[in-house]
Structure 1
Amino acid sequence: MCFALMMVISQETNLLVLWAGFVLIAFLFYFPFKIFISTEINMSFSNDMDDEYEKLFRRLNPPRVVIDNEACKNATVIRVDSANKHGKLLEVVQVLTDLNLIITKAYVSSDGGWFMDVFNVTDQDGNKVTDEAILDYITKSLGTESCFTSSMGSFGVKQSIDHTAIELTGSDRPGLLSEVSAVLAHLKCNVLNAEVWTHNMRAAAVMQVTDDETGSAITDPEKLSRVKELLCNVLKGSNKYRGARTVVSHGVTHTERRLHQMMFADRDYERANNDALDEKQRPNVSVVNWYEKDYSVITIRSKDRPKLLFDTVCTLTDMEYVVFHANIDAEGPEAHQEYYIKHVDGSPVKSEAERQRIIQCLEAAIERRVSEGLKLELCTTDRIGLLSDVTRIFRENSLTVTRAEVTTRAGKAVNTFYVSDASGYPVDAKTIDSIRQATGQTILKVKGSPEELKPVSQESPTRFLFGGLFKSRSFVNFGLV
């Protein structure tokens, strides 16, 4: 009896061992196979499942963030160590630039499936970053807890998704934004936030709007269709050779990231044969192959400005190049960037045509954010049609806007834009007086004298307007750029 009982127990034990072995083998083969399939074949697994894989990957390879305020005399040193993947460098740079930190130096190395990034950063005033809330935010955003989604909004601001996002691309021309904003006002759409870039006779905008009747996202399918139709007609204008595009969606997007992607997809880097832009105004970009190490080396020299590193890394990522090593030095008026890259397929630059395309795309990425002329900052209580009204005022005063940012917080509209007159020259004092009269009770400040501004080349790729721009206010600050 005992012998029979022992045999049964032994058999059950063997079955349990076999079953455990089967489960272990299934785990080892099934999950890598599932990850491989979802990556290579791009099957439609749910976002929740993708998030779980991302979390598992990060737990197995936790990033390490070290912030040191003692190692450097005049900057905060941030080091990030993590498993490498395509786009990782951009994600890190995006977190830092979204906090409006200035990256003065950077070192990147990512051989062997692991990357190490070291950044010297300061605040807007050139001081070390000492705010514990910001330092804690950086650690969490770049550390194990992060999925790199927190950088979608500004630090300390909870970004609502209860709006409709409108993405616009088309040919730039004087008064375009005035027409776009007039259409939105006519359809009872209120512009909460917007950013507009113009480059090489092309224009792109990302706008967050709400339905004025509900104060939230536009949900009526007929109204959404009408918005797309009318805006697309405005963007097309009389240009039959370059297309226009209007996309309406819901949710949160990283505005500057999308603007780079939109203008890249629109091929704003392609210059016309008669483009007479002074070569001295363009950034110096070179691309050579380092055959011993099988890298391509990109060297960029340009005037330094905020978010320059984000703009170049963003473009390299969109072009599907992986940065293996990089050295960045932006402590002086000129920034020097050096990237050692390969395509995602593992190859360096293969042809002269590919080399020229990289140069053109990086030049465009840097130029898109370059701001010419006079900087204007306005703030007032937000209301529907405000953007349309102010745009009309600037258009009537022959102002050209090359770049603009519109934000709304707690019922207040705060806007920044860069303007010159329609001929490409800075705004004169008479125009400023005219604007003051048209906007009503305003306070106007001028940093420096407009007459002292040097003329802007009329052949600038951003000389045309995406309209005048945005919001009136009880405070208007004009600062020279």
Structure 2
Amino acid sequence: MDDRDDDDDAYAKLVRRMNSPRVVIENDACEHATVIQLDTVYRQGTLLEVVQVLTDLNLVITKAYMSSDGGWFMNVFHVTDDDGNKIRDEGILNCIKKALETDAYMVKSMGKMLLSKEHTLIELTGTDRPGLLSEVCAVLTDLSCNVVNAEVWAHNARAAAVIHITDQSTGTAIEDPRQLSLIKELLYNVLKGLGDYRTPTVSISSPGEIHIGRRLHQMMFAARDFERPVSVDDIRVRPYVTVSDCPDRNYTVVTARSVDRPKLLFDTVCTLTDMQYLVFHGTVITDSDEAYQEYYIRHADGLPMSSEAERQRVMECIQAAIERRVSEGLQLELFTDDHFGLLSDITRILRENGLCPKRAKISTKNGKARHNFIVTDVSGNPVEPKTIYLIRQQMGQTVIQVKGNLSMSPKFPQETPRSFLFGSFFKCPSFQNSRLIKSLS
């Protein structure tokens, strides 16, 4: 019995070696981009894993061709750096090759967050409203929870957050069941709001491994953010998505035209994968600021879509996936010395000045904090230049970089991002809202 098991294991290893991914990277094949060709055994999820690796290496995918035939998957990606240049650095090229040539069943992405006993991960979804992030941060601060890292998305009146916290007194994960229960209860009450017919969710994760971007897509999908609020008068230009049949090849064809942006391919492929569709052929082409995507897909059971309702749902979900990361707002980047309660202070100041974060990425490392916010006013309109001046005054000494459209004022030319350099953040007392805590408990 043991000999047979050893033989099976040796055979499995031989098969993996014979069919390991083959990667070729060329800088001479295209004038404007580095070309990456990957050939590997086809299986469900392979495309997402590969795109995830490239995205987490901060590569911009300008073109992509994907095709499977006879169980073999061939991928060609044209990539650049953030500035639109070819990848020339040998260290980065070797890193790309090594990451993609890893055993297809063992692909690891640098975008995954490892959870350990040093941290506690909280996941939240609920109805978005002005001041929500500020209230969440206030509750965590009052419960002596230090936010180490976090990412927040808001779309179609829904909000989702993945928050990495520690106990303020110990700097490690929170393990007291009573404290965890209280955190969950108070955050649930914050998310519940008044007259919200949708049930919010609050979960505290056990140690494991997640990819933050993919997890947020899954959470927003579960919160049904692809359903348009009936009362919202939205004049934005939405992505143009079509879903049609290809009966001669037994495929369903999904096409999407939208404004191009980083991580667009990942967001689309992530959504199709999590909806249990397999991509057999695909093309992505970007031209200037526009992107065209085309996918030939089937269900995981090998069948195409069978109803108009299903086609409509896929169309709505792809539109939502494309829109979730769209930066329709003013980007504020804050860099300063970290201290307990800093995030609560910042979000309170944003709220008091009538700003609503549509996305937020919070990170702390080695005593420094770097926080990014995409903000609008409470009505979803552009931020007034005078509001930025008021925020600067209230925040005191910090580093703020403003990116986006402040062209309403001649003092803020659109093409020139402004950086305001003052030193360390004004260490005002942490925002303590005892009435809020009492009402929630």
What is the Cα deviation at residue 91 of structure 1?
A: 0.4
The residue number in structure 1 matching 2:102 is 144
The residue number in structure 1 matching 2:31 is 73
Describe the superposition over 1:37-57 as per-residue Cα deviations: whole angstroms up to 9, x where unpaired.
xxxxxxxxxxxxxxx999776
Cα separation, 2, equivalents of 1:162 and 1:27: 38
Cα separation, 1, equivalents of 2:134 and 2:90: 43
What is the Cα deviation at residue 60 of structure 1?
A: 4.5
What's the C-alpha RMSD, in Å, of the aligned pairs? 2.6
3-state SS in 2 of match to 1:349 = coil
The residue number in structure 2 matching 1:265 is 222
The residue number in structure 1 matching 2:431 is none
3-state SS in 1 of match to 2:380 = coil
**8 A contact 1:303–1:333 mirrored in 2:** yes
In structure 1, give the amino acid aligned to 2:77: F
**8 A contact 2:385–2:408 mirrored in 1:** no
Show the 5 A alignment for 1:118-133. Answer: 118-133=76-91
**8 A contact 1:171–1:244 mirrored in 2:** yes
Q: Name stretches of at least 5 consecutive residues in structure 1 with no aligned partner.
A: 1-18, 32-51, 454-471, 477-481
The residue number in structure 2 matching 1:218 is 174
Which structure has greater strand proportion? 2
The residue number in structure 2 matching 1:386 is 342
Figure out how many residues of one structure are paired with residues of the other and give that number. 412
CA spacing shift, 1:187–1:82, aligned 2, 3 Å: same
Show the 5 A alignment for 1:87-98. Answer: 87-98=45-56
In structure 2, give the amino acid aligned to 1:185: T
**8 A contact 1:378–1:473 mirrored in 2:** no
Q: TM-score normalized by structure 2?
A: 0.87
3-state SS in 2 of match to 1:323 = strand
What is the Cα deviation at residue 144 of structure 1?
A: 3.1
Q: Name stretches of at least 5 consecutive residues in structure 2 with no aligned partner.
A: 410-420, 426-441
3-state SS in 1 of match to 2:287 = coil
**8 A contact 2:112–2:212 mirrored in 1:** no
In structure 1, give the amino acid aligned to 2:53: V
What is the Cα deviation at residue 449 of structure 1?
A: 6.4
Describe the superposition over 1:270-310 as per-residue Cα deviations: whole angstroms up to 9, x where unpaired.
123344323x6110000111100001111100010111100
Identity %: 58
Cα separation, 2, equivalents of 1:137 and 1:248: 34
**8 A contact 2:20–2:102 mirrored in 1:** yes
CA spacing shift, 1:167–1:390, aligned 2, 3 Å: same
The residue number in structure 1 matching 2:353 is 397
Q: Which has the larger radius of gyration?
A: 1
Cα separation, 2, equivalents of 1:192 and 1:293: 50
The residue number in structure 2 matching 1:185 is 141
The residue number in structure 1 matching 2:44 is 86
Cα separation, 2, equivalents of 1:118 and 1:171: 40
Which structure has greater helix proportion? 1
3-state SS in 1 of match to 2:339 = coil
The residue number in structure 2 matching 1:41 is none
3-state SS in 2 of match to 1:403 = strand
The residue number in structure 2 matching 1:294 is 250
**8 A contact 1:104–1:121 mirrored in 2:** yes
**8 A contact 1:105–1:331 mirrored in 2:** no
**8 A contact 1:381–1:473 mirrored in 2:** no
Describe the superposition over 1:249-271 as per-residue Cα deviations: whole angstroms up to 9, x where unpaired.
13442111100010111111112
Q: Bigger CA drift: 235-244 or 430-439?
A: 235-244
In structure 1, give the amino acid aligned to 2:139: V
Residue 203 of structure 2 is aligned to residue 244 of structure 1: no
Cα separation, 1, equivalents of 2:399 and 2:217: 34
Cα separation, 1, equivalents of 2:109 and 2:324: 25
The residue number in structure 1 matching 2:294 is 338
What is the Cα deviation at residue 161 of structure 1?
A: 6.7
Cα separation, 2, equivalents of 1:335 and 1:68: 23
The residue number in structure 2 matching 1:14 is none
**8 A contact 1:378–1:475 mirrored in 2:** no
**8 A contact 1:398–1:421 mirrored in 2:** yes
Cα separation, 2, equivalents of 1:308 and 1:173: 26
Describe the superposition over 1:438-469 as per-residue Cα deviations: whole angstroms up to 9, x where unpaired.
1112355555762439xxxxxxxxxxxxxxxx
In structure 1, give the amino acid aligned to 2:221: F
The residue number in structure 1 matching 2:75 is 117
